[in-house]
Structure 1
Amino acid sequence: MGAVGEDFIGFVVFTFVLCLIQVTADGVSDTDPTEVSALRAVKKSLIDPHNHLISWDRRDPCRSKWLGITCHEKSGDDDYMHVKYIHLFNRNLSGTLAPELGQLLQLEILDFMWNNISGSIPKEIGNLSSLELLVVNGNKLSGSLPDELGNLSKMKRIQIDQNNISGSFPESFKNLINLKHMHMNNNSISGHIPPYICKLPKLIHFLLDNNNLSGQLPPEFSEADKIVIIQIDNNNFSGSSIPESYTKIKGLTKLSLRNCGLQGTIPDLSDLTDLQNIDLSENQLEGTIPSNRLSEDITSIDLSYNRLTGSIPTNFSHLPSIQFLSLKNNSLNGSITTSFESKNNLTLDLQNNKISNVSDGIINNSNVKIMLKGNPICSNENKVNLEFLCGFNDSERSGYMDEKCPKEACPTDALYEYARYSNGSCSCVAPLRVGYRLKSPSFWDFSSSVKKTLEHDLDANLSLSGYVKIETFLWEEGPRLKMNLKFFPAVKKKFNESEVLRLRDIFSGWKITNTNYFGPYELLNFTLEGPYKSYENLFLDSSEFLTIRAIVGIVFGTLAASLIACGLISFFIMKQHYNYKFLSYKRHSLINSRIKSDGLKEYTFKEITQLTQCFSKSNEIGKGGYGHVYKGILADGKYVAIKRADEGSLQGSKEFYNEIQLLSRLRHKNLVSLVGYCDEKSEQMLVYEFIQNGTLRDFLSETSKKCPDFPMRLRIALESAKGILYLHTEADPPVLHRDIKSANILLDSNFIPKVADFGLSRLAPLPDDEGNPNGHVSTAVKGTPGYLDPEYFLSHRLTDKSDVYSLGVVFLEIITGKRPISNGRNICREVRIAHQHGRAHSLVDSRMIILPSKCVEKFVVLALRCCDENMDSRPSMSEVVRELEYICHMDRDLDFSKSGFVATESSSVSSFSMDLSESSESYSKKTMGAV
């Protein structure tokens, strides 16, 4: 009871102080009262689980220094202070944005990026005539863009990327005459790109990739005088060609139009003398590649996955800065005999063309990494050097940058470490850690020289009293380059408070002026930990809690009554706190007594915090119904995935214990492994092995760079089924997963599937004497729409056949690439109807150009049997595995063991449509007889 008693005293004192502060908050405000009221409404509309906005309970936003609030000093107009900036990025806030934001009439920066805020963008923001930066990226905002935003004539940056914004561009956006940066990528914005957007006089960066834009590419971009980046990949301009006017966009450094449905030919881009990066891949471009000489500054050219013909022009050989040239998956032919004059290491990807010869000078050039798989030259037995070149695969573009110092005593537990300075000396200091991402870089190879240049540029922008070091980096979809930066102080052991404030202001105010080579950036996190943890008080300054005027205004009778009320409140809160701690301790003891850990580690909250860099947004890799998932790195260098339950989630608590108890005793190569857990400080976290290649859902999506061929898809289906079969028949006792879906099947570095997320799983009835599951479990319906067994949904009777149904839906995803429910259409019904009418081929993923028709046919029928609405008509999981193994071996021409991203089967889609005329029933009888 000693520890509980201390907690009690501390808690009462803390609550008393808060009450005292509130009672003394009756003075006159230095901030405009309208704005104070507006900010209180903003807080009320937000959900703040970690109590970051506790300072917003103080009297005055400007004088009492509310978190994230910066103010204008008093002016002679009204003798009030006014809110100038709101910086609340990466604070784990949810809820909505209050319309009262529109009352902060002198606001210049509105920054809520990297939170979980939902709802729409309030139209009242259009009243903020002084607003220059609207930064709300990385949230869950939805709805359309308000017309009123067009009133913001001083706006320089609109950054709403990575939300769920829909609808088309408002016509009022033509009034944004000072707009320089339009970052709206990764939303659901639809319609065409209006000409007035392209003509904005100061527009520099136009990033609208990963939306639902359609129509024709606007030729008016040539009228934008200052534009340097056009990035609109992964939209649907089907049938559009690249406008000829794009060859006249002076100053353009990057043109990225990947996967836009473009047709026609590639225009002559030789007049774009500043061009550094061009990506026209994954379109339907035809004809030959223009032979005119390109810009000498160009670093990356990607024309892969088109329909280009002819030979490779010699102009590519005279690009001194080129790092990456991809022409794979076209129909280019002839020989390559010229040498490449690049001063950099060059990756030359020519896979899957019709190239018959490559000169030995290129093959033996150590600066050129050439990929030739899928070309006629790879069948040339005289080329002994080609075995490696014809089997080249892309490597992961990530890295760890480190310069070693001697291993001496340095208190690493306090987040100090050795820094090596330019004079060669090492010193034990505390680095400041920052998450940083380049949103549209023009380079492809992040070589040591490029890294040093970026470090030098950052150092110059920051006027740093020390030096900056890029510790780790990772290429992400886009492509975007995410980095973890460390800033080392030069004189003392750590940066002082004013220096930290200054650096944070530069990053969050977008005051770094990168060159076009590096493109626009964004701040992912600004981590204050270790010796910098106390610096959080910089944004929660208590030095001005009370002012003279406030104290004079206090009435002693009110103070006494308020103190009595606070004491009663403290007593009841303390009692609740004690009960919670007792129950948490009891719960923690219970779980430890139940789990046979077998190497399962119990982590402390402090350890998890260090692994995830204080749960930084840059380390967040996903979110589900349970909570957020973060990436962490252990002391031995191994990566882990950490699933953190949302605070106060009863469902999360049930799933937490359920998953630990199950995974602590389940071991199978096709099940994700649990490494450990954390259960303290009201936190519940599970630590898993890190699975490098994400979910099967993402792998099958149209935005995925990789297009798995049918053998690989079949292997993933088989291995996933084996994992479920283990749960049903070999686990002791057996387990029903209850939430099988493509998002819960992860792919490791070799694309081996691993079934994950056992939070909803239930123990199954024991199997019969032959090892087959029997009986059912009566339970509330849980699972994901689109994958739910309809019979289980109606009867609440959960059986192994419920998992079979869900896995059947996954099989249909695998063969079609479509989601279970899309635009109101159910994949099971769509495929079943198409199969009955002999046109199931029309639903097969069109990216698999050549297919093993008979195998695909049988796989489709098996999937439909699994998805039969009648539970008794579905096969057991053991039958599913046997049939999949039979399909894998039925056609000796299907090289299953070497499945990858390029199909090699000789049968075509058209023959597949003929084979599907055989009915599901007749096929089922024939196949079961064969098995």
Structure 2
Amino acid sequence: MSELRVFWLRVVWAISLLLVAVDCQSTHPTEVTALRVIKESIDPENSLSNWGPGDPCASNWTGVLCFNTTKDDNYLHVRELLLLNLNLSGTLSPALAQLSYMEILDVMWNQITGSIPKEIGDLKSLILLLLNGNQLTGSLPEEIGYLPNLDRIQIDQNYISGPIPRSFANLTQAMHFHMNNNSLSGPIPPELSRLPLLVHLLLDNNNLSGPLPPELSEMPRLRILQLDNNHFDGIIPPSYGNMLQLLKLSLRNCTLQGPIPDLSRIPNLAYIDLSNNNLNGSIPAMNLSDDITTIDLSRNQLTGTIPPSFSGLPNLQRLYLFNNSLNGSVPSTIWQNRALNSTVQLTLDMQNNNISGVSGGLILPQYVNLSLQGNPVCSNGSLQGNASMPAFCGSPMALISHLQSIPSNSTDNCPASCPSGYELAPGSPTPCFCAAPLFIGYRLKSPGFSDFPAYFYSFEVYLTSGLTIKQFQLDLNYEWEKGPRLRMYLKIFPEFMGPGTDTNVFNRSEVLRIRNLFTQWAIPDSEIFGPYELLNFTLLGPYEAIDPRPSSSSGISKGAVAGIVIGAILGAVLLSAFASLYILRLHRKKYHAISKRRRVSRASLKIEGVKSFTYEEMKRATDNFDVGSEVGQGGYGKVYKGILTNGTVVAIKRAQEGSLQGEKEFLTEIELLSRLHHRNLVSLLGFCDEEGEQMLVYEFMSNGTLRDHLSEKYKESLSFSMRLRIALGSAKGILYLHSEADPPIFHRDIKATNILLDSKLISKVADFGLSRLAPVADMEGVVPGHVSTVVKGTPGYLDPEYFLTHKLTDKSDVYSLGVVFLELLTGMHPITHGKNIVREVNIAYRSGMIFSVIDAKMGSYPSECVEKFVTLALKCCKEDTDERPSMAEIVRELENIRHMMPESDSQTSDYIVTKLGKNVSPDQSSSSTTKNPYVSSDISGSDLVSGVVPSITPR
């Protein structure tokens, strides 16, 4: 009887599902009406020709993207309106407010006129408001300031006038204000300082006036402040030197007066443009960041000498001081000891000052452009007879602004041209590969550099990583535009997958995937490259027939849907009638079996040395996970410093909700880590898996990460002997993973932030979240040479062969460790502003200038030992995996170098210099703490420059 009741319940459920399924395929009538009104208002040329018959969501109207499921009213609703570059004109209709669930409004690059309707302020779900590149007039509606979820507002390149509404200070979720190139007037509201998340404030090329609000310095996350070509009064507020997150400050041609504020406290400032103002006084002796690429103080009233702080800036590209009243000499230390080449150049424009000479040497390196025309030094005869005088005193070199490209692999030897719509893929590893590219117009709106070639490699990695394609699939040309902005013409080629495969074109889903990454701002922002915008996405050749609009449903009619659903449900009902009894009988038995397996799994984790902690114990250890106990954060959650009841200090990785691993994966990770016991590996002490929580408990490493000790944050730097000892310890830990762990393990994410230092500065390898078991022998006893896996890791440390082939080997870890060795030797980051550490050290090594890149903070060192260490590091980073040494060979060579050291240096010191510069006994622990290093991230665009992992939600 019970089985019969279950059967009829299923029949009733099926009929209800059928009725809902048939009815739910329609768009809400109010939104259908609104879309028709919007078309009448915005589309006099009938570009939206399919906005007529059928249902907007079910029939896939151009640019109308709907939610995939119905809301509580059983209707579909519009989620996005993507109408960029469709030759639309007319005006924006107030009927937009009827699309009440809409999250993205994108009408970029059309010819829309009229004003922005205030009714847009009713779209409480709106995240992206993208109106740039039109002919909009009128003022900004105050109502926009009450959109609770707005992340990005782009109105640039219109004719919008009037003030910036004070209500915009209510946009507490906003990260991007792009309102440049309009006619906005009045002062900048100081209330904008209340915006907690704002990253980019672009207000250049308007008619803004009044004083610069000092309160803007209170914005905690502001990275770019770009206010060029406005009409402000007064000075640059001294408080702007407190914008600790700032990367770019651009106040060109703003009628500003007074002195230049001290910007020394801004740790990562990369771009300063204060040119064409009325600034006076001397240039402050600022301690500028090593990241600085551009300093433009030209066309002011500055006096005094060129400060020595402009020397020793490793990434400086432009120093413009022309048209001031500076005196004294130009210090040649500005360009000395710089690794310059055809892509890394330095331009110094000192024209029209009172400069009397060049101190420290008159030999001008090949890739330095110095102009002193209009200074006494070019007329008083002090440079007479010097071969560099024409370069010093001649006309300055004109900046190249025409279309440029980065050379790719040559295709000159390919025998024939490609069919129409296809091109030779210049970067493809397959010779003479004809493929159909996607053509994309792309622009960097506020880059943090002046010369692009030096940053090409970083950009290539950043963009291809964000698009999840290979680097050789990208080809580009570029040109600088007024702003300065960097326009790019991108070609993205398919990847050749082998003979007999049709891979010279992208399929439709891949075309839409790539397009949506651009249109939804799903490519993370980069600090050095700044905000970007999509100008066009052109489908030519074999792609012309592809409908580029996003699809939200199949477009099948209601009748067809009903027929399909009826047939499916009838089959399901009959099947369920026979299966119900069987399932009911098995249910209880299965439940008990699962419970038993779970108990057995947990019992198996009671391994010696690995404790199962309770949730309450974790709460007590961290003072209820108090924010003061936080020492790090990653994609999985947060890391806390905890103190157990027995006084043991630990690091607790706590997975955040939504990132919990499956039960099997979590137990497997604990079992794996519990088997690793080595002096140079961070120890797992225990775990917690209850109350819906997953936590791992590690020993706490009081001296932080190796990367910390190589940075400027430590007053005392590591000596060469200390660095060698750290390298040897790290190598021994990895050798244990490769050869002694059972089974062996490939770490897959070796980097300087995953090498930790304890209170005695003993190095320990950490973070096995990406690790993979090495391959085991097959039936015939043959051990495969690699593991095929998805590429994971961190840009700059990734083995190039692994990246291209997805074949992970022990030599992949060797490559990553080689990069760490180069960091130890030079102090450089793996990738910094387009400089790849492997390439830079190789260039210096081959040119006989290797000691020019050795970290000066290391102090004195035995040159022979350093040379051998460099040679070993570069061998580890060979592109050919067969040319790299094994971990055993690396350990042996490091031991040999250690034995070569003078006896006083090769022995462990009786005292260890801590990060505070104090001498402590090796038995003592440092009482200070640093950001916990148990935080790691997979490959991403935001890793390329800063290590920050931005959200990949639309921005």
Query: Which residue of 1 is the match for residue 283 of structure 2?
Result: 289
Aligned pairs for 1:782-821 within 5 A: none
Q: Which of 491, 503, 509 pairs up with 1:498?
A: 509
Q: 1:454 to 1:286 in 2, by over 3 A?
A: same
Aligned pairs for 1:69-218 within 5 A: 69-218=64-213
Q: How far does residue 406 in structure 1 lie from its aligned partner after superposition?
A: 3.0
Query: Which residue of 2 is the match for residue 874 of structure 1?
Result: none
Q: 1:48 to 1:427 in 2, by over 3 A?
A: farther
Deviation string, structure 1 residues 194-226 (Cα, Å, up to 9, x no partner)? 111132111000000000110000111121011
Q: 1:513 to 1:28 in 2, by over 3 A?
A: closer
Query: CA separation in 2, counterparts of 1:363 and 1:214?
Result: 46
Does residue 517 in structure 1 map to residue 528 in structure 2? yes
Query: CA separation in 2, counterparts of 1:543 and 1:270?
Result: 58
Does residue 365 in structure 1 map to residue 352 in structure 2? no
Structure 1 stretch 203-212 or stretch 351-360: which is displaced more? 351-360
Query: CA separation in 1, counterparts of 2:305 and 2:398?
Result: 24
Query: Which residue of 2 is the match for residue 247 of structure 1?
Result: 241
- The one-letter code of the counterpart of 1:104 is L
Deviation string, structure 1 residues 351-402 (Cα, Å, up to 9, x no partner)? 1111121247354222311111211222244145322432124222341233
CA contact (8 A) 1:263 1:283 kept: yes
Q: How far does residue 545 in structure 1 lie from its aligned partner after superposition?
A: 6.9
Q: Which of 405, 425, 436 pairs up with 2:431?
A: 425
Q: Which of 448, 458, 461 pairs up with 1:442?
A: 448
CA contact (8 A) 1:322 1:342 kept: no
Query: CA separation in 1, counterparts of 2:346 and 2:199?
Result: 29
Q: How far does residue 172 in structure 1 lie from its aligned partner after superposition?
A: 1.7
Query: CA separation in 1, counterparts of 2:268 and 2:152?
Result: 24
- The one-letter code of the counterpart of 1:66 is W
CA contact (8 A) 1:337 1:362 kept: no
Q: Which of 206, 231, 238 pairs up with 1:236?
A: 231
Deviation string, structure 1 residues 40-79 (Cα, Å, up to 9, x no partner)? 1010002353x43111112111010011111013335100
Query: CA separation in 1, counterparts of 2:278 and 2:385?
Result: 33
SS in 2 for 1:177: coil
Query: Which residue of 2 is the match for residue 356 of structure 1?
Result: 356
CA contact (8 A) 2:127 2:150 kept: yes
| Bigger RCO (CA 8 Å, 6+ sep) | 2
Structure 1 stretch 374-383 or stretch 119-128: which is displaced more? 374-383
Does residue 458 in structure 1 map to residue 463 in structure 2? yes
Query: CA separation in 2, counterparts of 1:540 and 1:103?
Result: 21
Q: 1:48 to 1:505 in 2, by over 3 A?
A: farther
Query: Which residue of 2 is the match for residue 401 of structure 1?
Result: 406
Q: How far does residue 534 in structure 1 lie from its aligned partner after superposition?
A: 1.1
Query: Which residue of 2 is the match for residue 315 of structure 1?
Result: 309
Aligned pairs for 1:511-590 within 5 A: 511-536=522-547, 544=555, 546-548=557-559
Query: Which residue of 2 is the match for residue 60 of structure 1?
Result: 55
Deviation string, structure 1 residues 833-854 (Cα, Å, up to 9, x no partner)? xxxxxxxxxxxxxxxxxxxxxx
CA contact (8 A) 1:451 1:470 kept: no
Aligned pairs for 1:874-885 within 5 A: none
Q: How far does residue 488 in structure 1 lie from its aligned partner after superposition?
A: 1.2
- The one-letter code of the counterpart of 2:441 is G
Query: CA separation in 2, counterparts of 1:529 and 1:430?
Result: 8
Query: Which residue of 1 is the match for residue 632 of structure 2?
Result: none
Q: How far does residue 339 in structure 1 lie from its aligned partner after superposition?
A: 1.8
Query: CA separation in 2, counterparts of 1:300 and 1:200?
Result: 28
Q: 1:76 to 1:309 in 2, by over 3 A?
A: closer
Q: Which of 291, 294, 297 pairs up with 1:300?
A: 294
CA contact (8 A) 2:333 2:360 kept: no
Between the aligned residues of both structures, percent identity stands at: 50
Deviation string, structure 1 residues 798-841 (Cα, Å, up to 9, x no partner)? xxxxxxxxxxxxxxxxxxxxxxxxxxxxxxxxxxxxxxxxxxxx
- The one-letter code of the counterpart of 1:508 is T
Q: 1:406 to 1:182 in 2, by over 3 A?
A: same
Q: How far does residue 549 in structure 1 lie from its aligned partner after superposition?
A: 7.5
Q: How far does residue 521 in structure 1 lie from its aligned partner after superposition?
A: 0.3
Q: Which of 192, 203, 223 pairs up with 2:218?
A: 223
- The one-letter code of the counterpart of 1:418 is L
Query: CA separation in 1, counterparts of 2:214 and 2:446?
Result: 22
Query: CA separation in 1, counterparts of 2:553 and 2:202?
Result: 41
Q: 1:81 to 1:543 in 2, by over 3 A?
A: closer
Q: 1:380 to 1:387 in 2, by over 3 A?
A: farther
Structure 1 residue ranges (4+ consecutive) displaced by more than 6 angstroms after TM superposition: 540-543, 549-552
Q: 1:111 to 1:541 in 2, by over 3 A?
A: closer
Q: How far does residue 123 in structure 1 lie from its aligned partner after superposition?
A: 0.6
**Which ranges in structure 2 are unaligned for 5 or more consecutive residues?**
1-22, 498-502, 564-955
SS in 1 for 2:272: strand
Q: How far does residue 538 in structure 1 lie from its aligned partner after superposition?
A: 5.3
Q: How far does residue 467 in structure 1 lie from its aligned partner after superposition?
A: 3.8
Query: What's the Cα RMSD here?
Result: 2.3
- The one-letter code of the counterpart of 1:406 is D
Q: How far does residue 300 in structure 1 lie from its aligned partner after superposition?
A: 0.5
Q: 1:310 to 1:60 in 2, by over 3 A?
A: same
Q: How far does residue 308 in structure 1 lie from its aligned partner after superposition?
A: 0.4
Query: CA separation in 2, counterparts of 1:357 and 1:76?
Result: 75
- The one-letter code of the counterpart of 2:442 is Y
Q: 1:537 to 1:149 in 2, by over 3 A?
A: closer
SS in 2 for 1:548: helix
SS in 1 for 2:295: strand
Query: CA separation in 1, counterparts of 2:400 and 2:332?
Result: 29
Query: Which residue of 2 is the match for residue 391 of structure 1?
Result: 395
CA contact (8 A) 1:253 1:277 kept: yes
- The one-letter code of the counterpart of 2:144 is L
Q: Which of 263, 266, 271 pairs up with 1:277?
A: 271
Query: Which residue of 2 is the match for residue 827 of structure 1?
Result: none
Does residue 377 in structure 1 map to residue 377 in structure 2? yes
Aligned pairs for 1:633-644 within 5 A: none
SS in 2 for 1:62: coil
- The one-letter code of the counterpart of 2:318 is F
SS in 2 for 1:54: coil
CA contact (8 A) 1:362 1:368 kept: no
Deviation string, structure 1 residues 650-693 (Cα, Å, up to 9, x no partner)? xxxxxxxxxxxxxxxxxxxxxxxxxxxxxxxxxxxxxxxxxxxx
Deviation string, structure 1 residues 687-720 (Cα, Å, up to 9, x no partner)? xxxxxxxxxxxxxxxxxxxxxxxxxxxxxxxxxx
Q: 1:161 to 1:233 in 2, by over 3 A?
A: same
CA contact (8 A) 1:470 1:485 kept: yes
Q: How far does residue 416 in structure 1 lie from its aligned partner after superposition?
A: 1.1
CA contact (8 A) 2:128 2:150 kept: yes
Q: How far does residue 424 in structure 1 lie from its aligned partner after superposition?
A: 6.3
CA contact (8 A) 1:241 1:263 kept: yes
- The one-letter code of the counterpart of 2:446 is S
- The one-letter code of the counterpart of 1:350 is M
Deviation string, structure 1 residues 88-128 (Cα, Å, up to 9, x no partner)? 10111111001100100000000000000000001111000
Query: Which residue of 1 is the match for residue 32 of structure 2?
Result: 36
Query: Which residue of 1 is the match for residue 483 of structure 2?
Result: 478
SS in 1 for 2:211: coil
Q: 1:538 to 1:114 in 2, by over 3 A?
A: closer
Query: CA separation in 1, counterparts of 2:439 and 2:27?
Result: 34
Query: CA separation in 2, counterparts of 1:351 and 1:423?
Result: 47
CA contact (8 A) 1:467 1:487 kept: no
CA contact (8 A) 1:465 1:489 kept: no
Query: Which residue of 2 is the match for residue 262 of structure 1?
Result: 256
CA contact (8 A) 1:414 1:531 kept: no
